[in-house]
Amino acid sequence: MGLYGMMRTGVSGMAAQSNRLSTVADNIANSSTNGYKRAQAEFSTLVLPSSGGSYNSGGVTTSIRYSISQSGPLQYTTSGTDLAVKGNGFFVVQDANGQPVLTRAGSFVPNAEGELVNAAGYKLMGYSYANGDPTVTANGFAGLEAISIAQSELVATPSRNGILTANLPADSTPVAAGDLPSANSATASYTQKTSLVVYDNLGGEKLLDIYMTMTGPDSWEVAVYDRADASPNTSFPYANPALATQTLSFDPTTGQLTGASATDIAIPVPGGDTLTLDMSGMTQLSAGFTVTGEADGAAPYSIDSVEISTDGTVFAKYADGSMRAIYRIPVATVQSPDQLQVLSGNAFAESTDSGGVQLGFAGEGGRGTVVSGAVENSNVDIAQELTDMIEAQRNYTANSKVFQTGSDLMEILVNLKR
């Protein structure tokens, strides 16, 4: 090929260095872009067959690689919906066409519908707690939905779990069977009484009267009634039978519940769910009556704010201070992150070389944890980029000299016959 080959090789070198300068320009322009991954030009030789004393110069070809697996430094913010993955993995987001893609750019804010979107307009995806504890679809995106934290939503949480802890005086006098609270007669008598506020399915308060009555040595009856059924200005008889009753047996030596004794009571809350009241901490000691109790559930409140834990659980915090899990954010991984297809908006898609997307929860299977109130900065090093720019500029100039030299020699060759 001779001089023409020499000139084409120079052009190939200039094109390669031009590509390198383009990646440097892109890196510098996005040095402050959250979640941006550095692009780098990699060169490989193009060799042409030569024979005898003739050498055919080839050239250089360029491939662009992205440092997707290299994490950028975390920058902490004051927004709880700013998210970062500390370690391996990506957030799953949805583009305008409803297509799931991956990203590390986690500066999310609510849009008009309350959906969390980042600066590129991608919606954060997660699994809802609406149908119970979510599970991961390991090999696909089925079950994911856009996370919404609409501020106008009212939520009522029925009571399902509670704790009742009390000391029942050991020197109490037993009550006759016909006069026990469970008999619900006008002559009913009891040893101790307390009340507990719980919530029905609509968030309405229900007041439960809890009677604790000694029935014999080391034996107590617990009877629960709906206060709304009580007789005016009195207690017994109630308009309806007890919601639940339970018998507790105590060890006369330790004052603790025996191994055969019941340790909880299931109470069907009127208009609500079944409340399981844990009574495993009850004692029978020679001391006065003391009692503490609590139950979950909440009246209707709107979402005041959201909090996101390191395992990706999104909690809605309501005006009364109560919290409820509403979504769980999965973390996606691939076998070769650097081979992902790069999309606009700091997003990535699965490619034939990256391997399939695998979903899991944060902190499981080598996946990173979710950091709330932080974003991942670009992994671009400005000093390195400026150095690469100077080097590419010098190499471009050197290749242009090769082209120019070939052109000069060609001119000499053409002018030989003159």
| Per-residue pLDDT tens over the stretch 96-107 | 888 999 999 999
Do 329 and 308 meet the contact criterion of CB atoms below 8 Å apart? yes
pLDDT confidence of residue 410: 79
What pLDDT shows up at residue 417?
A: 66
Angle CA(183)–CA(186)–CA(190) in degrees, nearest 5? Answer: 60
Summary mean pLDDT of the chain: 90
Residue 347, SS3? strand
**What is the average pLDDT across 335-344?**
93
DSSP state, 73? P
Among 65-69, 138-142, 268-272, 339-343, the range scoring the smallest mean pLDDT is: 138-142
- The pTM score is 0.65
For residues 418 and 381, the model is more confident at: 381
Is the pLDDT confidence value at 146 over 90?
A: yes
In which region does residue 391 sit, left (phi positive, over 0), alpha (psi from -120 to 50) or beta (all else)?
alpha
pLDDT band at 241 (very low <50, low <70, confident <90, very high): very high
Condensed to tens digits (0 to 9), the pLDDT of residues 248-279 reads 999 999 999 999 999 999 999 999 999 999 99
| First-to-last C-alpha distance (Å) of the chain | 24
Alpha carbon distance 182, 10 (integer Å): 100
How is domain 159-296 classified at the CATH fold level?
Answer: Tick-borne Encephalitis virus Glycoprotein; domain 1 (2.60.98)
How much is the pLDDT for 52?
67
Is-contact 391 100, C-beta < 8 A? no
Mean pLDDT of 353-380: 92
The proportion of the chain whose per-residue pLDDT surpasses 70, expressed as a percent, equals 97
For the segment 36-88, what is each residue's pLDDT rounded down to a tens digit?
A: 999 999 988 887 777 667 777 778 888 999 999 999 999 999 998 999 999 99
CA distance 376 to 142: 27
List, in order, residues 6 or more apart from 33 with CB less than 8 Å away.
105, 346, 378
At residue 297, the pLDDT reads 86
Q: Report which of 301, 321, 299, 295 is spatially closest to residue 203, judged by C-alpha positions.
A: 299
Confidence at residue 116, expressed as pLDDT on a 0 to 100 scale: 93
Domain locations along the chain: 2-67+379-417, 77-155+302-376, 159-296
- Max alpha carbon distance in the chain (Å)? 136
More confident residue, 318 or 354: 354
